[in-house]
Every structure is written in C-alpha cells, then in structure tokens.
Amino acid sequence: MNSLKVAIVLPVYNVASYLRECLDSILAQEYKNFIVIAVNDGSTDGSREILELYAKKDSRIIVLDQENSGISSVRNRALELIEAMKDIDYVSFIDSDDTVDVRFLSRHISVLKSENADVSVCGYTQCEMGTRKKAKVFNHKKILSRKDFVNIIYRFSDWKRVHGDGGMVWKQVYRTSTIQGLRFIDDKFFVEDELYNIQVAKIAQKFVYIPENLYFYRSVPTSLTNQDTFLIKLMNGRRKCYELCQEFPLEQQLTILSAFIEAVILVLKAGHHVVDIKKYEKECQIAYKAGMLRGKTYRRFLSYCHFPRLIMLIFKVKIFFRKNMGLYD
C-alpha cells in the first residue's frame, strides 16, 4: 500500500504558534510515502524559519514562497506542482494550525484503494480553547453517493445534520487523476472549499466515508469587526455554488439553493439589501414544499421579495433595539 504516493498541501501564513505541532503530527504518520508541499504565503511571524528548519531535517518537505495572495492561490500553486510531478497518486489538504491522527493517511489510503474510490471523507474533532468536541461520525463505513457528498458539504441529509464544517477540504483525500485540472476559485467568495468540492462532486464517481475522527480542527477565535463582510462573501459564495450545480439532479440543486437562501437571510438580518433574488422564488417554493427549506426562512424570503423596503425597515429596527439593549456590540 505504501507504493501509493500522497502529496499533502500545507498553506502557511503567520501560524508560528501552531506550525510545529502540525508538522510533527504529519511526520508521525504511520503511512510514510508522502511529501509535504508547504507554501509560505508571505508570513511575517517566523513561520518561514520553522518550515526551513523542518525541511532540513526531512527531505519530504518542500517549501515554496510567495507574496501574500490568499489560501486559494497557495493551494493552486501546490496543485500545479503536483500535476507537474506526475508521480502523485493522492492529494490531501491540511491547514497549518491543525493536526492529524497518526492513522490519518493510512486509513484514507486503505479505504480509497480497497473501494477504488475517488474521494474519501473522515470525521474530525473540533478543538477549541484547550478542549475537544467530537464531531458526528457514523458507526460503519459507508459508500457515498453524490447526493450524500453534497449533503455532507451543506450539513443536511437523511442522516440528520453533519456537525460542523461540512464543506472543508481538510477532512478529505482526493485521487489525483480525478481532480486533474481543478483549481480553487478566488478567495473573494470566502467559501472556496465548498466551491472546490462542488467541482469535485460534478466529476468524481465514487465517494467513501470513514467513520473515525482522524483530523483535529483548531477553532481559533476571530474578530467580529468584519462580520458583515463575512456574511456577504458567504452569500455570494453560496450563490456561486448554486450556479455551479445546475447539472446536478434537482434534489441536490435544492440542497445547495437552501444553503444560499439561508445565507441571504443572514445578510438581510444584518441590515443589508440583497439585489436580484426574486428570480429564485420558484425554486425556493419547490425547496420549501420538498421540506428542504425551513418555513421561517421561506416566509422571510418571500416577504423580502414582495415588500423589500418594509422588511429591511423591520430588520433595521430590530438591530437598533438589540444594540441599545447591549445584546452585542
């Protein structure tokens, strides 16, 4: 099994506090036939020096440097190198402030090989403020359909909700030939992982789920100063995901549409107008009748489509009172 070679893509930007722990967990893998393509995205905190130190100790670590350009640019640069190498069988994306179980690669590669699958997905554990909270995993290995994979991305399904960041690429391993030519879309949409996985879902033939928490995701507190910007990017990214999925069966389209409309409502609640959404009214009605769009969300969407000024006034009044009551800054 170790004859199959894995490339681990590691974006690095100002993570000196966590980088050693991340690299140590990668180098401790039971599965040994891998390389790490660490792309330093203009770090200024000593991360570059840490990478250089580890690269001198282990020839499997390749360090690339570039001016700060964002995570999509970093990953795309690594993918270009992987395709040029010609000898990489599988690709994994690991974030440089996270860690992985020693069996992360061995379990993924074992299942991918035995099932002849294009993509494997594992469970993960969210680590926050020194504590670990287990994500939902299932008690048996499950061959996934495209519908299942899309449901994982958007946390919906007949499995009930999948906990946490369903669309993130770091809990997956991809067959290199399957993702040949695929690239991450610009960071301006914020949901670059979801957009990438939607592209994967369009071409991959077989997905498999590993019911084990093999990835440890570090939830780092972030400032809410730009929360409105985040919500708008989230909404625009989800809109782009919906545009990309038009070749999917209707049910999968509606799953993605529902995620987009939920993001629209968040933007409206933040006091921002959203243009050009009335055109989704028919699809939203279908999603609501199919039980895929919550009634409260659907009613708010319809109200805004027909009475935008009134609904915005209501939301802005609520924001005013919440701020003055001190519920949030």
Tally of structural domains, the chain = 2
| Stretch 30-50: mean pLDDT | 97
DSSP letters for 162-199:
PPS-TT-GGGEEEETTTSTT-----GGGS-HHHHHHHH
Ranges 19-28, 118-127, 181-190: which has the least confidence: 181-190
Are the C-beta atoms of residues 16 and 97 closer than 8 Å to each other?
no
Which has more confidence, 231 or 323? 231
Q: Give the pLDDT band (50/70/90) at residue 1.
A: low
| Stretch 150-161: mean pLDDT | 58
Chain segment 269-294, per-residue pLDDT in tens: 888 989 889 999 999 999 999 998 99
Q: Give the pLDDT band (50/70/90) at residue 161.
A: very low
Query: Which residues, including other chains, have CB under 8 Å from residue 65's CB and lie 6 or more apart?
Result: 39, 40, 42, 48
Chain segment 204-216, per-residue pLDDT in tens: 999 999 988 999 9
Residues of the domain holding 308:
227-324
CATH of the domain at 162: 3.90.550.10
The DSSP bridge pattern shows strands 172-175 and 90-93 to be: antiparallel
Identify whether residues 167 and 238 lie together within a single domain: no
Are the C-beta atoms of residues 23 and 107 closer than 8 Å to each other?
no
Helical axes 295-306 vs 308-324, angle rounded to 10°: 120
Identify whether residues 12 and 105 lie together within a single domain: yes
Identify whether residues 201 and 260 lie together within a single domain: no
Identify whether residues 120 and 267 lie together within a single domain: no
Q: Give the pLDDT band (50/70/90) at residue 157.
A: very low
Per DSSP, the three-state class of 136 is: coil
Identify whether residues 12 and 55 lie together within a single domain: yes
